[in-house]
Structure 1
Amino acid sequence: MNVTIKDVAERAGVAPSTVSRVLSDSKSISDKTKEKVRKAMAELHYYPNLTARSLVSKRSKVIGLVLPQASDAFYQNPFFPTVLRGINEVAAENGFSLLLNTGNGDQERLRHIQRMVNGRLVDGLIFLYAIEDDPIINFVRQSATPFVIIGQATDWQTNFVDNNNVDLGLLATQYLIDQGKKNIAFIGSAYPQIFVKSRYQGYQKAHEASHLEANPDWIFRPDQFLVKNGFEMAREVAAIPEIDAAVIVDQLVARGFKEGVRYVCPDRQIAAMTFKPYRSDFSQGIHQAYININAIELGKRAFQVLFDALNDQHSDQEIRYYHEIVKAELVQGNAD
């Protein structure tokens, strides 16, 4: 027999309307009463009909996560599980579930998002990437669905959470310059990702501040962020004897680059600075310096920004746009 709200109310000794308010986590109900009702629900194995509740509240309590195009680079890159961990932690605390979306190509991903938005399967969306003139972001913006981008938005009427990637590019490059490196390559991406452009701007600024020339022939653009691409970049860099260091925007590419340098030109010392999603434990062993971009905090703040935007939407407040910068850190190396 199906257990109803009335059964829960009778077991808890409260009115059915009180059970309904507990289900919606109403602030008008005391913590003591909530605990009593939830205990009765557990004893009776009562599970609320989430679909029915969403029709009444007009909230699904589900957040859609828009991932980049499905590829080896996505599934292998440690940034994504790390930022997802941060999002999930805060989402669970607020009673939200997550619905992931990806696909092979922009059109397939767009169709998935259209179904999610038009079918009211989600209350809002978090984009785990930022590129210019994205058709998916354009659709979501026109649909008036609240969303936040993890990355730099192209306009200020967009919620976003990011690092200051210009400063990070400058910090990484300046660190190499301070280590005595003068001929520094930049290994970015073949795709128009905004964070790559920003880190390159920082790379240029560091050269200007130190009165060094940033050689445009020393800019490399791998097709994907994979270890094998880093190995290929090492071969290209090794062919230029002047280069003594490299700023590498992706951790996996940096790993392949270091392996490639050891294999292709073991007698050369080519330093590398990269960006990692978290602070690694190097209590033992040798490591080079890197920038910790604090991806868990990026995920946490992204959910909180979207949560605030959703609350604004359901109140009489004027629409506001939230822009947050998460602080990164330089982790010193012991092999420099």
Structure 2
Amino acid sequence: MSVTIKDVASEAKVATSTVSRVLANSPKISAETAKRVRKAIADLNYHPNHTARSLASQLTKTIGLVMPSSAHVSFQNPFFPEVIRGISTEAHKKNYGLYLTTSQTDEEVFEEVQRMVQEKRVDAIILLFSLENDRLVHYLLEQDFPFVLLGRPAVTNPKDVWYVNNDNVRTGRLATEYLTLLKHERIGLILNRSDAVVSQDRTYGYKEALAQMNLPVRDDYLAYYTDQHTGSQDAFISVMSVPEPPTAIIAEDMVIFGILRTVQELGLRVPDDLSLVAFNNYMISELASPPVTSIDIQIFELGTQAMKLLFKQLEDSTSSPEQVIVPHQLIRRQSCSRWQK
């Protein structure tokens, strides 16, 4: 049987809290007591675990960042490194570290979050995505564990959740309205995961804008994908294979970049034959050929605001949940033109 902190306390004839304070190098413990405890640790060959090292302060000074499943794929999406850069900038100001999930399925993500909470590996959690019927949000609410959600929570009362978001209904509407002003009537929409709340909100805004212009919502112009590489390309080909293909496409920057590599094979020119509008405004949009019109959602700011909200919770556990909506902006470039055919 492994040696526990209680065994060390008994050997040194002190309380377990005293042992934990010695492990944390607390100045409140006298030199004589600390020496006795450290001797007991050496004699018993005790190796403290992560939880034991943080017992004195009850803080790990670590924030858990929960990535979507297939975290290695997520890091190929510029959104996550940029939002984590915003989070880490704020975390560094108060000497907090970050603990990232690395799970490959939704079930593994849930199990890893359970371990974070139950084993007290982190002081709080930031969920970097929001899904429909997401067990993670309900679990963290039930556990009364501090967390901030990046995105709109799909719960009965969103005001119960601390979250940071863009108005993604408006971003979906804005992208569509801009294209209708350019006289496009056949507009396709390609988004990641139909159960992602951000995709649902952008789809809603897209449909709103079409309805406002008395344009039909065509299911064959809507496509969702799960795999960033093959799935998004398949979605684009599917949308463009209908008898009357779209004259404009709205999608995330990385999908648009893939489209730009595919259009030449289809004998299309951007923007003469096909206009493109992107979400997120990654640097790749500005560097693409042609440069892509994109909606800047201020990814870095999403991260900084999420960390600021989390610190509010940690510093005052009685404070009421707050929500922050980060503004967006349409950045017009050369991937769109007026439809004249």
What TM-score does the superposition give when structure 1 sets the normalisation length? 0.78
Corresponding residue of 1:305: 309
Q: Displacement, 1:91?
A: 0.2
CA distance 1:132–1:171, change in 2 (3 Å)? same
Q: Displacement, 1:52?
A: 7.2
Preserved contact between residue 238 and residue 265 of structure 1 (Cα < 8 Å): no
Corresponding residue of 1:134: 134
Corresponding residue of 1:30: none
Q: Which amino acid aligns with 2:292?
A: Q
Q: Displacement, 1:231?
A: 2.6
Answer yes or no: is 1:98 the counterpart of 2:98.
yes
1:12-62 Cα deviation digits (max 9, x unpaired): xxxx56xxxxxxxxxxxxxxxxxxxxxxxxxxxxxxxx9777322222211
Corresponding residue of 1:296: 300
Given candidates 257, 260, 264, the residue that maps to 1:258 is 260
- Secondary structure of the corresponding residue to residue 149 of structure 2: strand
1:253-306 Cα deviation digits (max 9, x unpaired): 222122222212336711121112546684896412111111100000000001
How many angstroms apart in 2 are the aligned matches of 1:308 and 1:86? 17
Answer yes or no: is 1:270 the counterpart of 2:282.
no
User: How many pairs are equivalent?
Assistant: 288
How many angstroms apart in 2 are the aligned matches of 1:258 and 1:227? 14
* Identity among equivalent pairs (%): 29
Preserved contact between residue 148 and residue 306 of structure 1 (Cα < 8 Å): yes
CA distance 1:113–1:85, change in 2 (3 Å)? same
Corresponding residue of 1:209: 212
Corresponding residue of 1:117: 117
Gaps of 5+ in 2: 1-20, 22-26, 29-49, 337-341
RMSD: 2.7
How many angstroms apart in 2 are the aligned matches of 1:100 and 1:276? 22
What TM-score does the superposition give when structure 2 sets the normalisation length? 0.77
Q: Displacement, 1:334?
A: 2.9
Corresponding residue of 1:239: 241
Alignment of 1:1-336 (within 5 A): 54-70=54-70, 73-154=73-154, 155-224=158-227, 226-240=228-242, 241-248=244-251, 250-266=252-268, 269-276=273-280, 278=282, 282=286, 286-313=290-317, 317=318, 319-336=319-336
CA distance 1:111–1:230, change in 2 (3 Å)? closer
Q: Displacement, 1:173?
A: 0.7
Preserved contact between residue 169 and residue 202 of structure 2 (Cα < 8 Å): yes
